[in-house]
Structure 1
Amino acid sequence: MNAKIVDETIARAAAERRSALSEIESKRILEAIGIAAQMPEPARSADEAAAAAERRGFPVVLKVLSPDVTHKSDIGGVALGLASKVEVREAFERIRANLSQKAPGARFEGVAVQAMAAAGLELLAGIARDPQFGAMVMVGLGGVFVEVLKDTAVRIAPIDKREARAMLAELRGAALLDGVRGRAAVDRDAIAELLVRISEFAARRAEIREMDLNPIAAYASGLSVLDARILLDREVKDAARGELPAAEAASLQARRQEKLRRALKPRTAVVIGDRGSRDFMWLRALDNFKGKRFSVQPDAKEAAAIEALGITNFRAVSEIGEPIDYAIASVPRKIAPQTLAECAAAAVAGIGFFTAGFSETGDPIGVELEAELKRIASRSDIALVGPNCMGLCNPGLGLLNSANLRAGEPGDVCFISQSGTHAISFCMQAPGRAIKVGMSASIGNALVLEAADYLDVMASDAATRAVGIYLEGVRDGRRFFESLKRATARVPVLVWKGGVTDSGARATFSHTGSLATPAAGWRAAMRQSGAVEVAGLEPMLDAMELLTRARPVRGRAMALVAMTGGQSVVISDTFASHGLEVPALSEASYAEFKSFFQVIGGSYRNPLDAAWTIGPRAAGGQDNLDRVLDILDRDPAVDAIVMEFRPGLAFGGLRRPIDVKDNIPLLDQLARFAQRAHKPFALAVESQHVPPDLRAGIAASAGALARERGLATFDTFARAAGAFRAAAEYFERAGNSAKGPIAIGC
């Protein structure tokens, strides 16, 4: 890169207090960073334009030069295909008149003259700045594809060539790049190189607010930028948060994270401010805490009631006399700052504030109290959780943040949530899905510790096999993005995002800026980091169950085993609608099936209609079940297997009251297969044959028996499909290289 040209061009615009570079200035910068551009010649009069056109060679293009014009075409500022000096002079005057009429007061500095470029595939590309994630790079097909279809791909800058090629493949019109109707394929490598260069430039130069390269002509060999404009930020704000030097801020963050580790696995815990009017909810939530439990409550009447519960009470944290790993504060908001200061002075490792009524209310007093909390925490390395949150949870240690939860075994799944409700709901529902929660955090207003801090701590824990996150937004998107990349290199991370819409899209001077919406930035962060988005709590639990109970999902080709023909058609559509495939099996598999499969009333085409071959009334059904599943496990066309499970059903009708325990031998047989199989295997419980008044209980009991045997089990085929889609997406983004933490079993 020729940094001197870049510096001089930007300095000149800054000196003139201009935020927009002209087309010529923008193209000089492009050439300085190694991107081919059609460099125009400026002309201030009609005669200069005609002379320049003759030098360039006809036909030519004229474009208005005005620092006050954003979109040249909108004001009639572009003339194409001019074939003579006469046409050039006429176009010059027409452009000047159009500017005067359609943009009164806009300065006219002449026109840019350039030769008409050879026809190529029209693209656009550029950079924009997202308020959360910083520099973004965008590419799209030109013309109607971007104007109407919004056919673009967006990534966080910088990117490498692999990511650039993935952007091109993502476009709905990607087939056009390979040539259609006799047109040659375009040079994808050249386009990828352009995206890499502008993304690296954007990441290095914070003063570049937007870059709009539109159109770009892509050819069989190379490309050319036909028009370009760059927008500058006059005042570049320091990206570093806070006032501490970078090294000191990083050291402080590391110390806070270390204290957060202590708070998530505490040996000592104290509840500050619990009261009888709330039935001592926080102290009771710690009834099964495996460490030492204390109370701080200066009110004599409340203190006596606490002591009657067998809990040692103190008037102040400083009186406890031993290190405190985690404090739960349930105090009036007006004394929250004082409580935090006392805990920091007493070297408490972490404190979670259930106390609410801060900035989330918009109340000036609450806003100021929250600011005071942040000032105190910023001067300390205490791990401040919240405020306005349910705090930390570790069921294996009996550290609970709700009396409705139960202590359990040490777990391997973690959850981070801005919503206290979702954090409690996840921990409450997980055990019923055979998901063991290791650590959970309700982070509330996240004043000092953000989602990135919790993710760094949880994902780096040796016991963690997967992390789920519920977020509505992040303050420092770039730091969260980097944390996601670190985490997903080791374990799956599932993200449920509240409030993702394009309604926040802003009108800017360029196509690039207007298309780089907040939603596009969030999707780019997920895709690039390797995290997988889910659309709610149930899809989160479904994907978690599959990721922690089954083998890695290394592809999207599904073998489906159904018990009726009609069901097999429906489930095939269901899996396809989730982006999964239901392929034909190998000829070798068909040859094996042909030797024993009952085709009267059944079929061994994928999905299999298998009731009369493997069902309770089938001759040799138990042996046939093993044969069917083993054939599918060997088949090279198949990546995963899902089987329909009908609890209590004797195929052909219900002959007696349903007892799901009758299915235990079958479930044991399926569990043995899951253990020996090389591919992920799951059950989809089908209970439509059960009377409505019994259906929920029968399905729940059957699912519980299956999960007790280590089988990933879903209430419907649709939920199974959603889980397999999420798991496949994770392993695709991880490059099929994830290892270690993802293995079958509990």
Structure 2
Amino acid sequence: MDATLKKKLDIGFNPRNIVVVGDKGPNYNWLKSSAEYPGGPTYSVQLDENEIPGIEELGIKNFKSLHDIPEDEIDYVIIAVPRRIVPFILKDCIEKKVTLVACYTAGFAETHEEEGIQLSETIINMCKEADLAMVGPNCLCISNPKVGLLSNTSQRTGPGGFVGVLSMSGTHTGTMISALTAHGMPISKSVSMGNSLSIEQSDWLEYLGEDEETKIICMYLEGVRNGRQFYDSLKKVAAKKPVVILKGGQTADGARAATSHTASLASPFAIWSGMFQQTGAIGVNSTDEIIDVAKVLTMAKPVSGNRLGVIASTGGQSVLVSDASAKHDLTVPALEESSYEKLRELFTLTGNSYRNPLDVTGVLNTAEEGDMMLNVLADDPNIDIIAMEVGDFTQRRNDPDFYDNMIKNFQSIKENSDKPFIVVQTGMEDVVLKTRETLKEKGIPSIYSFLRGTQALGRAKDYYTAQAEINS
């Protein structure tokens, strides 16, 4: 990417100072999220005398103008003023040679109003003529939790993560940050891109593509301003690390909503699907699927085949997982005869099926039996992927150590087998949440339901297959 822009973004993600222009109470979202930034001082610019006491109560010094701030260089400015005022603040930023600006303000071309459209053109021209780097407008800015740079008051600082988030929606930005973190995949950096009038989506993509802390990129897109440039950037970045994209506006109604949200121009979804296939990016259809796919890609071994070995809690689940697998180009094949010989004695006592999927109703009574089943699938040459259902049944064993020992079995199979392994969670929500937390702590990928699990495995398989073809 452009070296000058990269340097500006490096500074913006690690600013020596922050200025918030126009934030108001009672929430003071931007000031509160920046008040304890450890990398340098936070200042406020506010003319409304009624707001100044509340700002000062936060321990933040207020000024009437950006020019009054006692800093020779201002690294990062957040703008939260009415849309008509934005050009005046940008003029001050240009004069002060601000490194990076983020404009929270909305109400531009996405309104389809003449004034909003004209203001958009004014902003584009100002940024271009002055070479001003601006996030947005209509965005929730940027975050770098590792250094304490946050985008809202609910976000928390923490050790460096490995997932980069890029989103044209502030809501989806927050949702992905919260969900990914809750599932054991902390954030490296995030960008709420908004309308992308200055820094384009391809710029952000290339920046995170070069970011060593970011191992996978998760995106929500409604459209792009420069399709060819984005295609080239996506192809380049996807060759280095996974890029998971949720494309909003896949239908006619969705496209109209996207135009009103971020002024994104509609384009047939078939074009996007073709681009994902050609570049090796991973297209998904929900934020839940982003989480599931990211979990398989970052916590499981690479998916190099499509033959799934399943340990299911009931015969009914065995049927459903077989159907779900077929929908995502996975198969549930017969095992080798040597595997059946190992399983036969255990399963013939109850008459359960052990043809794959293994129906463990009334069979799985000890952790040793569970370990044996997992290792049979790990050793079977007909199996490429292993999935085991964990539901309420794991809580109802006479052995109080059963659950903990099964977790150890999961760790062992993940570490010692070359085959990707996931846990599929089913059952009551409280049990699922408890189990998920335990599995997260151990680095074991868990996905709710076989439908979502097979979908994520299918996406991962397609990704690794596409990368192998692209690199061949």
Partner of 1:674: 414
Q: CA deviation at 1:493?
A: 0.7
Q: Is residue 310 of structure 2 the alignment partner of residue 560 of structure 1?
A: yes
Query: 1:417-473 CA deviation, whole Å, 9 max, x = no partner?
Result: 111111111112222211111111111111121111110001211111111111111
Moved more, 717-726 or 360-369: 360-369
What SS does the corresponding residue of 2:388 show, helix, strand or coil? strand
What SS does the corresponding residue of 2:468 show, helix, strand or coil? coil
* Aligned 1:707-746 pairs, distance under 5 A: 707-735=440-468
* Aligned 1:231-310 pairs, distance under 5 A: 253-275=2-24, 277-299=25-47, 300-310=49-59
* Aligned 1:573-588 pairs, distance under 5 A: 573-588=323-338
- Give distance in 2, aligned partners of 1:662 and 1:274: 54
The one-letter amino acid paired with 1:262 is I
Moved more, 669-678 or 553-562: 669-678
Query: 1:322-347 CA deviation, whole Å, 9 max, x = no partner?
Result: 43332211112122112112222322
What's the TM-score, normalizing by structure 2? Answer: 0.90
How many residue pairs get aligned? The number is 458
Q: CA deviation at 1:378?
A: 0.1
* Aligned 1:420-459 pairs, distance under 5 A: 420-459=170-209
Moved more, 662-671 or 345-354: 662-671
Query: 1:341-391 CA deviation, whole Å, 9 max, x = no partner?
Result: 222232222111011111111222222222111111001333211101111
User: In angstroms, what is the RMSD of aligned CA positions?
Assistant: 2.6
Maintained 8 Å contact 1:273/1:331: yes
Maintained 8 Å contact 1:543/1:727: yes
Change (3 A) 1:473 1:682: same
Question: What is the identity percentage for the equivalent residue pairs of Structure 1 and Structure 2?
Answer: 33
Pick from 639, 651, 669 the counterpart of residue 384 of structure 2.
639
Query: 1:605-650 CA deviation, whole Å, 9 max, x = no partner?
Result: 111123444x23xxxx322322221221222222211101124646
Partner of 1:705: 438
Q: CA deviation at 1:267?
A: 3.9
Query: 1:384-410 CA deviation, whole Å, 9 max, x = no partner?
Result: 111011111222222222222222321
- Give distance in 1, aligned partners of 2:351 and 2:16: 62
Moved more, 575-584 or 642-651: 642-651
Pick from 207, 215, 235 the counterpart of residue 485 of structure 1.
235
What SS does the corresponding residue of 2:101 show, helix, strand or coil? strand
Maintained 8 Å contact 2:306/2:331: yes
Q: CA deviation at 1:293?
A: 3.5
Pick from 660, 663, 679 the counterpart of residue 403 of structure 2.
663
Query: 1:30-62 CA deviation, whole Å, 9 max, x = no partner?
Result: xxxxxxxxxxxxxxxxxxxxxxxxxxxxxxxxx
Maintained 8 Å contact 1:395/1:406: yes
Maintained 8 Å contact 1:267/1:290: no
- Give distance in 1, aligned partners of 2:57 and 2:201: 39
- Give distance in 1, aligned partners of 2:17 and 2:455: 41
Q: Is residue 298 of structure 2 the alignment partner of residue 548 of structure 1?
A: yes
Maintained 8 Å contact 1:419/1:444: yes
What SS does the corresponding residue of 1:348 show, helix, strand or coil? coil
Change (3 A) 1:665 1:325: farther
- Give distance in 1, aligned partners of 2:7 and 2:306: 40
The one-letter amino acid paired with 1:281 is N
What SS does the corresponding residue of 1:593 show, helix, strand or coil? helix
Change (3 A) 1:737 1:600: farther
Q: CA deviation at 1:274?
A: 1.3
Maintained 8 Å contact 1:546/1:727: yes
Q: Provide structure 1 residue ranges, at least 5 long, that are not aligned to the other structure.
A: 1-249, 505-516, 688-694, 739-746
Q: CA deviation at 1:708?
A: 1.4
Query: 1:110-158 CA deviation, whole Å, 9 max, x = no partner?
Result: xxxxxxxxxxxxxxxxxxxxxxxxxxxxxxxxxxxxxxxxxxxxxxxxx
Change (3 A) 1:524 1:503: farther
The one-letter amino acid paired with 1:730 is Y
Change (3 A) 1:311 1:502: closer
Moved more, 678-687 or 594-603: 594-603
Maintained 8 Å contact 2:247/2:283: yes
- Give distance in 2, aligned partners of 1:665 and 1:274: 53
Maintained 8 Å contact 1:261/1:457: no
Q: Provide structure 2 residue ranges, at least 5 long, that are not aligned to the other structure.
A: 255-266
Maintained 8 Å contact 1:589/1:635: yes
Maintained 8 Å contact 1:489/1:734: yes
Maintained 8 Å contact 2:78/2:101: yes
The structure with the largest alpha-carbon Rg is 1
Q: Is residue 433 of structure 2 the alignment partner of residue 684 of structure 1?
A: no
Pick from 60, 64, 67 the counterpart of residue 311 of structure 1.
60
Change (3 A) 1:325 1:679: farther
Maintained 8 Å contact 1:556/1:580: yes
What SS does the corresponding residue of 1:261 show, helix, strand or coil? helix
Pick from 278, 281, 288 the counterpart of residue 528 of structure 1.
278
Change (3 A) 1:298 1:288: closer
Partner of 1:628: 373
Q: Is residue 201 of structure 2 the alignment partner of residue 468 of structure 1?
A: no
- Give distance in 2, aligned partners of 1:669 and 1:357: 55
Moved more, 311-320 or 366-375: 311-320
What SS does the corresponding residue of 1:292 show, helix, strand or coil? coil
Change (3 A) 1:602 1:670: same
Pick 1 or 2: higher relative contact order, CA cutoff 8 A, min separation 6: 2
Pick from 324, 336, 359 the counterpart of residue 609 of structure 1.
359
What's the TM-score, normalizing by structure 1? Answer: 0.58
- Give distance in 2, aligned partners of 1:290 and 1:664: 40
Indicate the structure with greater helix content: 2
